[in-house]
Amino acid sequence: MVSREAKIQRLERELHRIRTSPSLRLGSIITDAMRRPWLAPFLIITLPWNIVMIGLEMLGKKAPKAAFERVTQDPTVDIRNCVVMFPTNGVGFGHFTRMLALAKQMKKADSELEIIFFTTMPTLHLLKPYGIPAHHISGSPYFDEMSTAEWNGLLEEELALCFEAHRPKQFVFDGAFPYRGMLRAIKANPQIDKIWMRRGTFRRGKTIPVDSVNHFDLIIHPDDSIPRLPSEIEHNVPTTNCPPITLLEANEQMSRGLARRRLELPLDAVVAYVQIGAGEINDINSEVRITVDALVRRENVHVVLGESMIGSRFEIDLPKVHLLRDYPNTLYFKAFDITVQAGGYNSFHEVRKFGLPTLFYPNLFTGMDDQLARCKVAEKEGWGYVLEERSAENIESAIGDILEKAGESTPLDEESGSIPLAQQLVSRQ
């Protein structure tokens, strides 16, 4: 049953959203001019000016009117040994994996700690083996005819209810963009220790709301294999770095024999793991199909094609090609002799940690994410090749080069950044 206090807070949040809505604010300007006719001549200036200001707020270029905050709230009352984690969903599992890795290590550091996920990721079943319950809200594109402002109101309400139900002492957000509804919900709960894990620094001209950083008590920047660019936005929030975060340690992976039997792979074959997402597998001119064909043409070479659990299923039936739709796919890495990968942050650091010889196809058009520079580190360290421009001819040649490294795995003796970070966050509590 919802308490009287919770009902009052919900109504106050709704009242604040109504009062700060663009339609009411613009309507109030016109109404004031009707009530006080001497203001009417100024509408030619005040109305366009306010439209521009509201537009800048909606684009995150200007701080909106102060979010609702209960001044009577006691910041010390009724806090539980609980952490709420909010990973957003991008094109892959990066945010989700970092939060899950951190949650796993925090529960090891404090066995009585309760972890709650609040997320836009649809793959909630992956949390069950870790005993982590979750709240789910679909992203705004999944709703028909729902504006961004309406979705942020829904997000604020759902997250506020999550805070009311679990009374966490800490909130950890992993995402590139802090939603306005989330910012309003955490601002209304000053008793919560608020942390933002963000890969990369803050750059001017991006869509991050200008006042978002100061809603947090700590910013965490996971390291990369390449130097991080300096931040262009000044703020006073403490920051800390941690090594790259991976979900599994080597002792948590399947043995080579078990992984191959699970995937129905010959024990004596050379196995290549391919996950590049470059084109349709059934398009014979796509990079992924050219790569697969170049591999399976070779004697005793089998291909495991990685299939994202949040993507469409592959409709293929090719000899010596096996599909892997699981999470995390690093469970099976000991079954593979080489891999062909894109140059994304998570996939790079996973293959680097476990020492898989890798042929990289970096995306050269990813804005601030310099995949080429990251992948060049693999060449300097001697365990990878980088193919910048791909054609059938140079893919064939590069496949031959990487197959010569098959079986030369050299795992790094490096623990996941989630282990020291978990100790640090638990000690903050």
Percent of the chain with pLDDT over 90: 52
Query: Is the Cβ–Cβ distance between 335 and 254 less than 8 Å?
Result: yes
What pLDDT sits at residue 330? 94
What pLDDT sits at residue 70? 47
Query: Is the Cβ–Cβ distance between 254 and 262 less than 8 Å?
Result: yes
The mean per-residue pLDDT over the stretch 317-330 comes to 93
Residues 236-268 pLDDT 10s: 889 999 999 999 998 999 999 999 999 999 999
Q: Is the peptide bond before 328 cis (omega within 30 degrees of 0)?
A: yes
Kindly list the strands in the beta sheet with 82-87, ordered across the sheet, starting from the edge strand earlier in the chain: 134-136, 114-119, 82-87, 170-174, 193-197, 218-222, 239-242
Q: Which residue has the higher pLDDT, 397 or 30?
A: 397
Picking from 36-50, 68-82, 380-394, which range would have the lowest pLDDT averaged per residue? Answer: 68-82
Q: Using N-to-C axis directions, what is the helix angle for 22-35 and 43-58, rounded to 10°?
A: 170
Residues 150-209 pLDDT 10s: 899 899 999 999 999 999 999 999 998 899 899 989 998 999 999 999 987 665 555 566
The mean per-residue pLDDT over the stretch 217-226 comes to 91
Q: Using N-to-C axis directions, what is the helix angle for 345-354 and 371-381, rounded to 10°?
A: 10
C-alpha to C-alpha distances, 407 to 266, 268, 320, 350, 370, nearest whole angstrom: 15, 12, 19, 17, 29
Taking only Cα atoms into account, the Rg of the chain, rounded to an integer number of angstroms, comes to 25
Distance CA 427, CA 429 (A): 5
Residue-range domains of the chain with CATH? 4-58 (no CATH), 82-243+417-428 (3.40.50.2000), 251-403 (3.40.50.2000)
C-alpha to C-alpha distances, 132 to 109, 140, 155, nearest whole angstrom: 16, 24, 21
Which of the four pLDDT bands, split at 50, 70 and 90, describes residue 32? confident
Check the CA dihedral 100-349-346-174 and report its sign. positive
The identity of residue 248, as a single letter, is L
Q: Is the pLDDT of residue 406 over 60?
A: yes
Picking from 1-10, 234-243, 318-327, 389-398, which range would have the lowest pLDDT averaged per residue? Answer: 1-10
Query: Is the Cβ–Cβ distance between 348 and 244 less than 8 Å?
Result: no
Pull the structure tokens for residue 121: 């990721």
What pLDDT sits at residue 67? 47
